[in-house]
Amino acid sequence: MALINFTSKGIYCKQGDFYIDPWKPVKLAVTTHGHADHVKWGNDAYLCHELTKPILHRRLGVDLKIQTLRYNEEISINGVKVSLFPAGHVIGSSQIRLEYKGEICVVSGDYKVEYDGISTAFEPVKCHSFVSESTFGLPIYKWQPQEVVLSGIKDWISDNHDKKKTSVLVAYSLGKAQRLINGLAGYSDIYVHNSIANLNEGFINAGVNLPETIRITADTKKDDMQKGIVIVPPALAEGRWIKNLINPATGACSGWMQVRAGRRWRSADAGFALSDHADWPGLLSAIKATEAEKVYITHGFTATFSKYLNEIGIAAEEVKTQYGNENDEEVLETASEEPKIESQS
């Protein structure tokens, strides 16, 4: 009998009687990472990495039953051995490894193979069956090394400083924001939106070493922000808040920025292809490294990517899930949180 089943509530392990990243309330939700499409409210209990815990509290409230694990630490749930391995996607993101009577299955959630300097580096895990995302599962998606993208961002910021523009980077609160903060630290003062500052606070309390940032409040001076770098979540990207800054120039940081159509659709002034998901070569190398006999393809270019895997001799199947809308969820979460800017600077 298979170790996991794709049910209407989520990915279910019958032998262990728990779900992984369920989208409907269940007794035990084993959670890969803190993005809104992978963790929902209303489960009786959660099991996740110790650094995912502060995110769950931040997003779902304090009154939660959460058990945590470190990477490589193993526990047994109803005889199923459960352990976490780094997925390299965001801080705390984990691949869930299940083992039962010699059968091994790994559910990777979201992952990227390049080390981003802040999330524990992705570690391939050998298994019989592997569940993989396919957000960027087309051969047009091949990322430049992080330092190349960051140096492009720095050039852009310095050009904005010369032209007396305010550099506003648009990035998910969880993941991209910390990655930018880490990569741009020391280059200029970094001003962050509340939702980012709150998450950072949670990480710092949990012992993560994050560079210093400045939380944007009603007292923050527009002149100071113009001289520094502003980071906001996508929900604020097109709102009036940004328009109140001094000559704002927005830079969207997302894998979709790889393609010109993606840059046009998101009406930013600049686009940087910086992604927390694996690119095409990354997906292929990760899947091959698992040596899995069967691969299940979730959110993204599921049909295309699984068809290709089958053609190159890797048995793959496309599965329907409700993952893949991390952006939408974040819109809801932060839309009402526009900080006020003092009118006179």
3, 256, 286, 316: which one contacts another protein (CB under 8 A)? Answer: 256
Residue closer to Zn ion (CB basis): 100 or 323: 323
How near is the Cβ of 322 to Zn ion at its closest, in Å?
A: 10
How near is the Cβ of 32 to Zn ion at its closest, in Å?
A: 8
Going residue by residue from 282 to 321, which x/- string records binding to another protein, judged by CB under 8 A? ------------------xx-xx--xx--x----------
Binder of residue 110, out of another protein, Zn ion, none (CB less than 5 to 8 A by kind): Zn ion
Residue closer to another protein (CB basis): 130 or 308: 308
Radius of gyration of the chain (CA): 20
The stretch among 40-48, 91-99, 107-115, 269-277 that binds another protein (CB under 8 A) is 269-277
Indicate whether 261 belongs to the interface with another protein (CB under 8 A): yes
How many amino acids of this chain bind Zn ion (CB under 5 A)? 3
How near is the Cβ of 225 to another protein at its closest, in Å?
A: 20
How near is the Cβ of 301 to another protein at its closest, in Å?
A: 7
The stretch among 135-143, 185-193, 204-212, 283-291 that binds another protein (CB under 8 A) is 135-143
Nearest Cα to 338, choosing from 245, 267, 240, 250?
240
Indicate whether 270 belongs to the interface with another protein (CB under 8 A): yes
Question: Strands across the sheet with 270-272, in order?
Answer: 214-215, 190-192, 229-232, 166-170, 248-253, 270-272
Q: Which residues bind Zn ion (CB under 5 A)?
A: 35, 110, 323
